[in-house]
Amino acid sequence: MAELSQIIDDFAFLDEWEDRYRYVIELGKALPDLPEEQKSAENKVQGCASQVWLVSHVKDASADPVMTFEGDSDAHIVRGLVAIVLATYSGKHASEIVATDAIDIFNQIGLVEHLSSQRANGLRSMVKRIREEARLKAAA
């Protein structure tokens, strides 16, 4: 999976929306497939027009655990958006996740204004779910 800093740098070189769109699809293709048994109703993100699944993992039992995430989608562009969200949050402490709004990063790289309202709402649903899971882990 690509690192967030690399993704941001790559977007800085892409001027045309079509090039950015292709890059998002490439990011999605590079995302490891989520095993079929993980594509459950429990892991499905509500509020997405496409099917999106997110699975969270806690690496330690500390008061501020490191969390990692896996995700997948049945739509190419959305799968790329999932890859960017995972690059933003995976491997971070729960407190960092709660304090980080991935939508700001999507604005920074110029993607939000090119997403349909359904995709933008789905993106917000993914971000909200991850941050809420991190909030619960940090509060536990």
Where along the chain do its domains lie?
4-138
Tell me the pLDDT tens digit for each residue of 77-121.
Answer: 999 999 999 999 999 999 999 999 999 999 999 888 888 888 999
Tokens of 95: 């407190």
- Under the banding of pLDDT at 50, 70 and 90, the label for residue 138 is confident
Average pLDDT of the residues of the chain? 93
Q: What's the fold here for domain 4-138?
A: Sufe protein. Chain: A (3.90.1010)
- In this prediction the pTM is 0.94
Alpha helices in 31-116 (DSSP H): 76-89, 94-99, 102-108
Q: Report the interhelical angle of 117-139 vs 76-89 (nearest 10°).
A: 30
DSSP assignments along 80-98, one per residue: HHHHHHHHHHTTEEHHHHH
Return d(Cα 73, Cα 82) in angstroms, integer: 8
Residues annotated as part of the active site: 48
Neighbouring C-beta atoms of residue 108, cutoff 10 Å: 12
Tell me the pLDDT tens digit for each residue of 39-50.
Answer: 999 999 998 788
- Under the banding of pLDDT at 50, 70 and 90, the label for residue 5 is very high
